Amino acid sequence: MKIKQFLQFLTQQLTNWRRQYKGLRRKGKLMRSPKSKTHRRELLRTVLKNIILFLSKTNDKSERRKQERALQSKTKSVKTKSTIYGVALDWVHEQRSLVILAIALVSLTGVIGHKLYNQTQIQIGNPAPQTITAPYTASIEDQKKTESQRQAVSETSLQVLMINARMNEQINENLQKLLDDGNEIRAVAGAFPFFDPVVLSISTQRYLRSCPDLEWQALLIAVENTKNQHKKGTRRTTASSAPNQPLTPQKTKPVDFSQNTDFTQAVAELESYRVTSEKNLSLVISQIYQTRQRYTQATAKLLQLETVTPEAVYEESVLLDLSDEEWEKTQMGIHQSAERILTQGIPQGLPKNILQDAVSLQLQFFVPESAESLAKKLLLAVLKPNLQKDEEQTRENAQKAAAGVSPVMVKVRYGQVIVRKGVQITAWNFKVLEHYHLVRREVKWQELVKLAGVIAIAIGIFVWVERHVDYELRQRDRLLVLLLTLSVPGLVTMGLPYTTWSALGLLLGSFYGPILGLTVVGLLLPILAISLDISKAALLAGVGGGILGSYIAQRLRSREELALLGVAIALTQGGIYLVVKILIGQAFGSTWYLVLREAGLFALSGLGWSIVALGLSPYLEKVFDLVTPIRLAELANPNRPLLKRLATETPGTFQHTLLVATLAEAAAKELGCNVELVRAGTLYHDIGKMHDPLGFIENQMGGPNKHDTEIKDPWKSAEIIKKHVTEGLVMARKHLLPTAIQAFIPEHQGTMLIAYFHHQAQQMAQEDPSLTVDDADFRYDGPIPQSRETGIVMLADSCEAALRSLEASAKPLGEKRSLKDVSTEQALAMLNNILRAKWQDNQLVDSGLTREEMSKIAQIFVDVWQQFHHKRIAYPKLKASNTARNS
């Protein structure tokens, strides 16, 4: 029995020593300070002193009972597991940190050292250790020859061509432009034939329009002479043409054009028409003159077009010699011929004479014979190859042709020498050896052990850094860090250079702060550099993006800012890759465009992985129960359903919560705690009061207190008050609040005594001896605050109510109150008493808050209270008449 009591006492003392150790560790006095040895000696002396005191006071039964009751209230029941399975699970649970570290070592070594598992003793290029012969006859495919034959067949397979519609459109546009130029020139020349072909033949009209001026003058003289001979008169007359062109020829040296058939025919046709009408001949000559002028203008425009256009398709007079009907047929025939030729397709490298023959053949059926030469020039000027290679279909044909080639098999007979000792092993020798399973693959254990040692050192550095940062990692946090870390070498082993550096840095920095994020990125860099075949430029670019994300992510307070950080990471990765390539000289020369392309891809990969990280962040926060500044800001939004209910159903509690949050935020900021966590946790710390709003005085709005009018039982009242903690936890779990936020609900009350109802119960017990008052009935179930943040909220919650009561007691109800009624010294003294009581009640022993910080917290609370209740200007009282008149 004595041994059992001793063990119980020792368990209690170990719990107290653990708390002391935790407090010293938070202060930084253990394992870091030069005075750590002194603290350890003091701790050892305390242990021995307590053991001696226990052994010397074993007969004190009352003392033992107190110790047993304290032990029962602070220890948890443990079920004994007798099976080996249960013992193993208990050991794994107790040593879960070591298990996670072991998993990290094995997984990282396994992923990064994947190439060391299946290495061969015999390698290509090395001398054979011994003469190796074939153990049995086999046919082995010579892949090199097979691939060579398939490549040859693939290259000689027919290409599949396809019509380039865009080229067809361009050809038609160029053709139409040339025809439009021809139409414009013919419009200047005027209609043709310009006179009735029955009177003047088309050939005569063509001659009269285009003959030289000298022939035209001679023609006029010939017509005039013929007229005089027919009249046989003595009077010389002049043949008048149009008002602008007299028939009298100019005085020039006469030239004989009688040998010119066109000239003679024109004179004869004009003379025949004059026989019909003398007057109409003058009009015809005038019309011919005007047509000749227009023809001259058209010819000049045609010459101008020839100097501008590189290919002079209208260099001959064929364009103007064609009649309007022939020109229309020519245009239509050109379009039809072009359409048929383009439909058939013009391949690249087609000989010019073949294209000319094809054009001539097509034009024979669609164009007048007189316009064939012109139409041929027009088409040859615009026609270009319009067939392009159909890459997909050609590739499919090549693959089908290559697939039809049978593998080249080489027969290796039993006992045939594959490779002789000392001879260099070729690719074919290695293939044969591998077929016979003579390659002798093995695991490079020595290299794996070296790699595991390097990774173990890196893990040790990470653990050391983890112990020296403010953020205390849970096992699930270590598991998440491991999974995110594995993503980088995992993608590298898959052959993808655009790894998850940006996502790794952004998520680790956002979840756990810049120190842990930079540590992981910095440790991965040398390990991957010495273990994997990865471009140094790619490695440095990824690390740069990871460092930027780790350093800045936790400073941001919105998803939009994180998105902008993703853009910055993208520019950083692309820029670093480009700079490294420039420094090593690979960005110059013929491959500069490849470097620019890779830099762009690295920038896009940085942005892409940042987007992936932003998308995964809310899910990871939920699954791994994480609180980031952004999530805390979202939880502190007053439009959240739970907070809206709190403001609507318990307005007094909501106002109390806002004031407590203001006090706690100010203290947290001054003490360097997590202000966002304090703000969000305070807003939810009293949500359990919604289960019975009128059970709390701040929601009674001056009405009757149900505890005094209805319940009248301090035990039941204490249960109602205590229930706001349990109900609050139920609500928090129902709304999936993070564990860090849920911790504020029980820890802000700790195991404090509900003093008001405890005092009522004691008074009732004095009046009725049959009643027994158990302090446990009037104490909260705890736990006491386990962090500085929850400890600050506990103090702010108690001090807010005290400051409110202090202000309310400053003056009678209904009168205006001011700070001159309550001095700062009074408020500070009262808060110090409250904080001292909490400290003496051991409510803050696990929080990490020190005794010296209590006074600082009290002063902060008073300063904030003064800012809220500052002195106001006393306005003069208005007379009743003035008041009535103004109203």
280 has a pLDDT exceeding 80: no
Q: 658 CB contacts (<8 Å, ≥6 apart)?
A: none
CA 593 from chain centre, in angstroms, equals 24
Whole-number pLDDT of residue 34: 40
Closest by CA position to 629, among listed 554, 552, 564? 554
Is beta strand 387-389 parallel, antiparallel or unpaired with respect to 417-419?
A: unpaired
Tell me the average pLDDT across 652-672: 90
Alpha-carbon distance 555 to 33, whole Å? 30
Confidence of residue 678 (pLDDT cuts 50, 70, 90): very high
836 has a pLDDT exceeding 80: yes
681 has a pLDDT exceeding 90: yes
Mapped onto helix, strand or coil, the DSSP state of residue 846 is coil
Alpha-carbon distance 525 to 539, whole Å? 7
Q: What DSSP string runs through 388-426?
A: EE-HHHHHHHHHHHHHTSPP-EEEE-TT-EEE-TTSBPP
Span 368-398, pLDDT tens digits: 888 888 888 888 888 888 888 777 888 888 8
839 has a pLDDT exceeding 60: yes
Who wins on pLDDT, 497 or 40?
Answer: 497
Tell me the average pLDDT across 658-674: 91
Give whichever of 29-33, 152-156, 835-839 has the largest mean pLDDT. Answer: 835-839
Confidence of residue 32 (pLDDT cuts 50, 70, 90): very low
Who wins on pLDDT, 112 or 444?
Answer: 112
HSE-CB at 157 with a 13 A cutoff on CA atoms is 24
Mapped onto helix, strand or coil, the DSSP state of residue 120 is strand
Who wins on pLDDT, 278 or 679?
Answer: 679
Rg (CA), the chain: 52
Which sign, positive or negative, has the C-alpha torsion 327, 328, 329, 330? Answer: positive
Span 305-315, pLDDT tens digits: 766 655 567 76
Who wins on pLDDT, 323 or 28?
Answer: 323
Prior bond of 783 cis (ω within 30°): yes
Alpha-carbon distance 701 to 654, whole Å? 13
Alpha-carbon distance 869 to 807, whole Å? 9
Closest by CA position to 565, among listed 550, 579, 575? 550
Distance between the two ends of the chain, CA-based, in angstroms?
85
Who wins on pLDDT, 79 or 848?
Answer: 848
Tell me the average pLDDT across 571-586: 85
Closest by CA position to 754, among listed 725, 779, 773? 779
Alpha-carbon distance 625 to 732, whole Å? 13
Cβ–Cβ under 8 Å, residues 375 and 328: no
Cβ–Cβ under 8 Å, residues 800 and 656: yes
Mapped onto helix, strand or coil, the DSSP state of residue 315 is coil
Who wins on pLDDT, 279 or 417?
Answer: 417
Q: In sequence order, what are the beta bridge partners of 140? A: 410
Whole-number pLDDT of residue 277: 67
Who wins on pLDDT, 211 or 6?
Answer: 211
Alpha-carbon distance 143 to 409, whole Å? 9
Span 217-237, pLDDT tens digits: 888 888 877 766 655 543 443
Alpha-carbon distance 672 to 57, whole Å? 45
Cβ–Cβ under 8 Å, residues 249 and 217: yes
Q: In sequence order, what are the beta bridge partners of 163? A: 387
Q: What is the mean pLDDT of the chain?
A: 78
Confidence of residue 16 (pLDDT cuts 50, 70, 90): low
Tell me the average pLDDT across 482-490: 90
Alpha-carbon distance 383 to 496, whole Å? 47
822 has a pLDDT exceeding 70: no
455 has a pLDDT exceeding 80: yes
Cβ–Cβ under 8 Å, residues 186 and 298: yes
Closest by CA position to 292, among listed 241, 240, 224? 241
What is the identity of the amino acid at 114? H
Whole-number pLDDT of residue 90: 59
Give 837's DSSP letter. H
Give 494's DSSP letter. T
pTM more than 0.75? no
Give whichever of 116-125, 620-629, 702-711 has the largest mean pLDDT. Answer: 620-629
Prior bond of 526 cis (ω within 30°): no
Span 530-554, pLDDT tens digits: 888 788 888 899 899 999 999 998 8
Whole-number pLDDT of residue 403: 81
Alpha-carbon distance 829 to 808, whole Å? 17
3-state helix, strand, coil in the chain (%, to 5): 70, 5, 30
680 has a pLDDT exceeding 90: yes
What whole-number percentage of the chain has pLDDT above 70?
78
Whole-number pLDDT of residue 254: 55
Span 174-186, pLDDT tens digits: 888 888 888 888 8
Q: Which two tokens stand for residue 836?
A: 């001292």
